[in-house]
Amino acid sequence: AKSHIEALAGRHIISGTGEGLFSPDRNVTREEFAKMLIEAFDFELDNVSTDLSDVPKDAWYYKYVATAQELGIVNGIGDNKFGVGTNISRQDMATMAYRAAKTAGTMIKRVKPVEIFADDNDIAEYSKESVTVMQQAGIINGVGNDRFAPNDNATRAQAARIIYMLYKENL
């Protein structure tokens, strides 16, 4: 994902974790991924708000989560919560990325046949279309052994690759 990371960093869509490091294997939180998507697609809206109970108005991520919710990219995790501070799962990353691409009007080209993963039954119903379309487009892949690992945490490198693949389609 090095070339993807460098391209996105050069456009100020993603940033490092400090001291010149990107930390590609570190997990991505839900709010970090929302920020990456909003900035990649230049979705920032003025005067957005959210009533999600775990998203305080003075938090650095407030406008990103509020914008993502306003645009239908995120719905939260239930109980009126966004899931701040929790690592994003691979299926939620695929879902948010797919919704962002649709909102931006990005044409996602399906270039591969559908792959039925061995753990397909573990993919949540709300994510199935997103995972399928993103897999067919070659934007997201399995993790090996014919598995998608929908509930595994997504890494910063995986997030950067997905955002780059969608971003370049939107140029």
pTM for this structure?
0.90
Q: Which amino acid is located at 124 in the chain?
A: A
| Predicted local confidence at residue 133, as pLDDT | 96
How far apart CA 28 and CA 158 sit, in angstroms, is: 9
As averages over each run of 10 residues, the pLDDT of the chain (171 residues) reads 76 73 86 93 90 96 96 95 97 97 92 95 97 95 94 92 81 46
How far apart CA 82 and CA 80 sit, in angstroms, is: 7
Rg of the chain in Å (alpha carbons): 15
Structure-block tokens of residue 72:
């239908």
| Predicted local confidence at residue 31, as pLDDT | 96
Count of other CB atoms within 10 angstroms of residue 28: 21
| Predicted local confidence at residue 171, as pLDDT | 46
> Does residue 151 contact residue 91 with C-beta atoms inside 8 Å?
yes
Structure-block tokens of residue 117:
């993963």
**What residues are paired with 27 via a beta bridge?**
155
Torsion sign across C-alpha atoms 106, 131, 138, 14: positive
